[in-house]
Amino acid sequence: QKRNPNEAEFHQAVKEVFDSLVPVLVKKPEYIKQAILERIVEPERVISFRVPWVDDEGNVQVNRGFRVQYSSAIGPYKGGLRFHPSVNASIIKFLGFEQIFKNSLTGQPIGGGKGGSDFDPKGKSDGEIMRFCQSFMTELSKYIGPDTDVPAGDIGVGSKEIGYLFGQYKKMRGAYEAGVLTGKGLGYGGSLARKEATGYGTVYFVDEMLKDQGLSFKGSTVVVSGSGNVSIYAIEKATQLGAKVVACSDSNGYIYDPNGINLDTVKRLKEVEKQRISEYVSEHPEAIYTENCSGIWTVPCDIALPCATQNEIDQASAQILVSNGVKAIGEGANMPSTLEAVETFLENNVLFGPAKAANAGGVSVSALEMAQNSARLSWTFEEVDAKLQEIMKNIYQNSKQAAAEYGAPGNFVVGANIAGFVKVADAMIEQGVI
Ligand code: NDP
């Protein structure tokens, strides 16, 4: 904390990982001798830069851009870009740190990184978003490349922004390097099923947890927070598996539809019209809109999928979920549960799929996009989806096995952290003190 003051989210993410690693350090003192923890917590490189751009009124605006290149122990840095006013060094470092272990868990050769800006895309015109993206990439292009660092989307960065970023990268380099970004449009190197991958993957992971206990999505009631990329496709897959999703949200409030959320309406409102979720009730009068998004956790459910943002479930919300009988949690967002909320779930034997494992489907398909770009071919939706399912099953099994091996059976927080860590730590030792 002395070394990284005022970085609460970063401290939280590090504490969660380091607390889980105690049994590994006891078993493998080599990690202590080699100062693996001291090294892994320090990013290999942190880049912070000015992003000036001109708005539609002709005013000059200035935002701050970041890229944290955290670990390249097992592959090029890989992780999304977030455009949201809350972005600062702490947020990007927590996301980049978690990404190291998540990417390792996928079984793909990708290191950890993350980036973004405090730019707020909400209410901006297409022209403003494009000019911002061009300015951002003019600087970022100096530090990334298909074999160096491969960014993707995250909050506020979807296929439109990736398109503008890719166009500017191409212009800066004078070369068509398809593998420099993932989440690209399908017409210029994107992968089928990338858009769906994080949400689908979260549901696949939870499905594995449920099946192991003789449970399933079929007939269950599900609550999904958010209504962005991850949420929409988590709702889609949970519904396909026979669940009824009764609530979703945005940063203003949440909707409850006792008949089950009509996903076509949500997709149109959010993906096409960029409306607020409150608009849903004007088309579905049986649904109720409530201001204040954190109230969504008071809706009784069997399965809760937090898919919006960090720390959206605090201890009080976790307790309400538990007293309403929740059986499983799958973290689609990054670090959506506070440390106290995680404790509450584990103490009450709620099946808990932590973000690193449960939302790793997105980056897994990003790695598949890189593979398709390198091979200059594209796989069908079904091929990518089948690979995604296989990867999520493996992540589940590896996390489960590591948890059992290190004395915490059924604790996927410990299992995912250890399984992700060991591979990176061993690679660091083999590569010497660098
Ligand atoms: P989007 O921008 O598509 O959607 C974000 C959703 O969360 C929106 O509904 C947004 O509401 C809501 N939200 C954002 N900030 C807040 C807040 N402070 N309080 C309440 N709600 C909020 O982002 P994604 O769906 O891509 O990302 C969601 C989460 O999933 C993030 O934690 C991200 O890091 C994680 N993730 C994403 C991956 C991906 O492939 N996209 C991969 C792995 C993890 P509003 O529109 O009102 O802002």
Please tell me the total count of domains within the chain: 2
Structure tokens at 100: 């190291």
Q: Ligand 1, closest atom to CA 158? A: 3
Domain assignment present for residue 415? The answer is no
CATH number for 277: 3.40.50.720
The pLDDT tens digits of the residues spanning 409-430 come to 999 999 999 999 999 999 999 9
Tell which of 303, 324, 353 closes a domain: 353
Q: Which of 234, 216, 218 is nearest to 226 (CA)?
A: 234
Overall average pLDDT of the 164-187 stretch: 97
Which pTM does this prediction carry?
0.98
The predicted structure's pLDDT at residue 14: 98
**How far apart are the CA of 196 and the centre of ligand 1, in A?**
14
CA atoms within 13 A on the CB side of 257: 23
Tell which of 326, 353, 380 closes a domain: 353
Same-domain check for residues 150 and 253:
no
Question: How many other CB atoms are found less than 10 A from the CB of residue 91?
Answer: 26
Q: Is the pLDDT of residue 171 over 90?
A: yes
Q: Ligand 1, closest atom to CA 309? A: 32
Ligand 1, atom 5, residue with closest C-alpha: 228
Backbone angles phi, psi at 240, to 5 degrees: -60, -30
Look up the domain containing 169 and give its range.
Answer: 42-178
Q: How confident is the model at residue 1 (pLDDT cuts 50, 70, 90)?
A: confident
The pLDDT tens digits of the residues spanning 20-33 come to 999 999 999 999 99
The pLDDT tens digits of the residues spanning 71-123 come to 999 999 999 999 999 999 999 999 999 999 999 999 999 999 999 999 999 99
CATH number for 62: 3.40.50.10860
The pLDDT tens digits of the residues spanning 354-405 come to 999 999 999 999 999 999 999 999 999 999 999 999 999 999 999 999 999 9
The pLDDT tens digits of the residues spanning 268-323 come to 999 999 999 999 999 999 999 999 999 999 999 999 999 999 999 999 999 999 99
**How far apart are the CA of 225 and the centre of ligand 1, in A?**
9
**How far apart are the CA of 169 and the centre of ligand 1, in A?**
25
Catalytic residues: 114
Same-domain check for residues 167 and 229:
no
Domain assignment present for residue 26? The answer is no
Tell which of 320, 335, 353 closes a domain: 353
The pLDDT tens digits of the residues spanning 309-366 come to 999 999 999 999 999 999 999 999 999 999 999 999 999 999 999 999 999 999 999 9
Same-domain check for residues 153 and 302:
no
Distance (Å, whole) CA 93 – CA 66:
10
Same-domain check for residues 200 and 174:
no
Same-domain check for residues 344 and 228:
yes
Average pLDDT, the chain: 98
CB burial string 40-55: b at 16+ within 10 A, e below: bbebbeebebebebee
Same-domain check for residues 47 and 151:
yes
Same-domain check for residues 148 and 281:
no
Domain assignment present for residue 330? The answer is yes
Domain assignment present for residue 316? The answer is yes
Q: Ligand 1, closest atom to CA 226? A: 9
Q: Which of 227, 251, 276 to mutate to test the pocket of ligand 1 (most atoms within 8 A of CB)?
A: 251
- Residue 221: strand pairing partners: 244
Using CB distances shorter than 6 Å, the residues near ligand 1 are 153-156, 198, 226-231, 250-252, 293, 307-309, 312, 332-334, 359, 362
Domain assignment present for residue 169? The answer is yes
Ligand 1, atom 39, residue with closest C-alpha: 154
Q: Is the pLDDT of residue 2 over 90?
A: no
Same-domain check for residues 48 and 143:
yes
With a threshold of 0.85, tell me whether the complex ipTM lies above it.
yes
Same-domain check for residues 161 and 206:
no
Domain assignment present for residue 130? The answer is yes
Domain assignment present for residue 188? The answer is no
The predicted structure's pLDDT at residue 106: 97
**In Å, what is the CA distance from 348 to each residue of 211, 304, 323?**
19, 15, 10
**How far apart are the CA of 35 and the centre of ligand 1, in A?**
35
Domain assignment present for residue 299? The answer is yes
Question: How many other CB atoms are found less than 10 A from the CB of residue 37?
Answer: 17
